[in-house]
Amino acid sequence: MTTLGAVTQLLEIVCAMLAAPAFLGWVNQCRAWLQNRSAPSVLQPYYGLRKLFHKDVILAENASPLFRVAPYVVFGTMVAAAAIIPSMGTGLPLSMAADGIALVGLLATARVFLSLAAMDVGTAFGTLGARREMMVGFLAEPALLMVLFVAAMISRTTSLPLIAEGLTTRAIALYPSLAFTAVAFTMVLLAENARIPVDNPATHLELTMIHEAMLLEYSGRHLAMMEWAASLKLFNYACIGFALFIPWGTGTEAGGPEGLLLAVPVLVAKLAAAGAGLALVETLSAKLRVFRAPEFLATAFLLAVLGLLVHLLLGD
């Protein structure tokens, strides 16, 4: 493990934890602008977290230890996921221990714990949310894996940093397969992060909500951890997208400390663009009925598989 690697690793974890709420705030701000509302500050999610950390926790009477552990587990897996995604530098020591498949596994672990916690209190909403979350998950997860597989087949490795490096060091070429998977990935990102058109983060209307339904019983510090984890998840997904599709500007081992320094503004720029794009997609699309969500995700899955077949056919 080189010093640069260790520094990159630590920097990535800390930055992800600190910057994730800001990214969420930025998306919300863009959305408000596009919808002609007066926009909340980028820092709004931080205010929200601060507020929650200053509130009492009210636990449901029959909440089990699982319910209390879950927020930390979900948060912990999200941080661990952030540690293996090459958002700033590719020389991550920890990415040895977990490749892209393990990353998908980590995200699935978080999802399972979130759903189990939602079922723990035994309210109608909790179980409903858990069921819908798992429904979204079982289609989104294989789609994400397929997206990853295309990139992995192009670079001949499932290690995310190596995929990112492979794409940056090769001559710029058009990969038709990547075009398919990029669309699929965007759809997965929307679904997995409870964005429109699959879920609406701003609503508490029972017929439509998924993610919020699962968090209904949480309060105080537990809710804060869950919210923080959710923003980390969005941040992570964005960074996975950068690593798979636009890895240029990420620091490498060869690039040295300067590369890492340069990577920070590049990442900020990418995040700003991605956030604005996300807000645009969300504003332009309408919320789907829950029953239509599987079709949306099945499309993503098929697009990703198509991407795979295109890659094999064209051999790019």
Partner 1 sequence: MSFSYLNACLAMLLAWGAIGLAGMIRPKSLEFAGRTLFPLGALCGIALAVLAVISIATPVERDVLPIGLPGLPFHVRRDALASVFLALLGGASAGISIFSTGYFRKGEGALPGLLCLEYHVFLASMGLVLLADDAYAFMVAWETMALSSYFLVTTQHRIPEIRSAGFLYLLIAHVGAIAILLSFGVMQGGSWQFTFDAMRAAHLSPGWATVAFGLALFGFGAKAGLVPLHVWLPEAHPAAPSPVSALMSGVMLKTAVYGVLRVSFDLIGTPQWSWGLVALGLGLMSAFYGVIFAAVQTDMKRLLAWSSIENIGIIFTGVGLTIVFHGVGMGALAALALIATLYHCLNHAFMKSVLFLGTGAVLHATGERNLGRLGGLIHRMPWVAWLTLVGVLAIAGLPPLNGFVSEWLLLQAFLFAGDVPQTFVNMLLPVGAAVVALCTALAGYVMVKFFGVIFLGQPREATLGQAHDAGPVERLGLLWLALGCVGLGLFPVQVIEMLDIVARELLRLPPGHWGTDWWLLAPAAARHASYGPLALFGVTVIVVVLAALGVRAVYRRRVHRGPAWDCGFVRLDARMQDTAEGFGQPIRHIFEPFFEMQRELPTPFDAAPRYRVTVGDRLWTLLYLPLGVTVRWVADLVARLQQGRIATYLLYSFVTLITLLALVL
**CB 34 to partner 1: min, Å:** 31
Going 110 to 14 to 46 to 222, the CA torsion angle's sign is positive
Nearer to partner 1, 273 or 313 (CB): 313
CB 233 within 8 A of CB 86: no
**Nearest CA-CA partner of 154 in 273, 247, 266:** 247
Count CA within 13 A, CB hemisphere, residue 29.
Answer: 15
**CB 214 to partner 1: min, Å:** 12
**CB 244 to partner 1: min, Å:** 15
Please give the structure tokens belonging to residue 224. Answer: 């804060």
Nearer to partner 1, 153 or 281 (CB): 153
Nearer to partner 1, 4 or 154 (CB): 154
**CB 300 to partner 1: min, Å:** 12
Nearer to partner 1, 23 or 228 (CB): 228
**Nearest CA-CA partner of 230 in 32, 103, 72, 75:** 75
- List phi, psi (to 5°) of 251: -70, 145
**CB 211 to partner 1: min, Å:** 15
Please give the structure tokens belonging to residue 64. Answer: 């089990």
Nearer to partner 1, 18 or 284 (CB): 18
**How buried is residue 256: exposed, middle or buried, by Cβ count under 10 Å (0-12/13-18/19+)?**
exposed
- List phi, psi (to 5°) of 216: -55, -35
Nearer to partner 1, 61 or 258 (CB): 61
**CB 140 to partner 1: min, Å:** 8
> H/E element holding 240?
helix 220-245
CB 257 within 8 A of CB 224: no
Nearer to partner 1, 197 or 275 (CB): 197
User: How many whole angstroms from its chain centre is CA 22?
Assistant: 14
**CB 21 to partner 1: min, Å:** 15
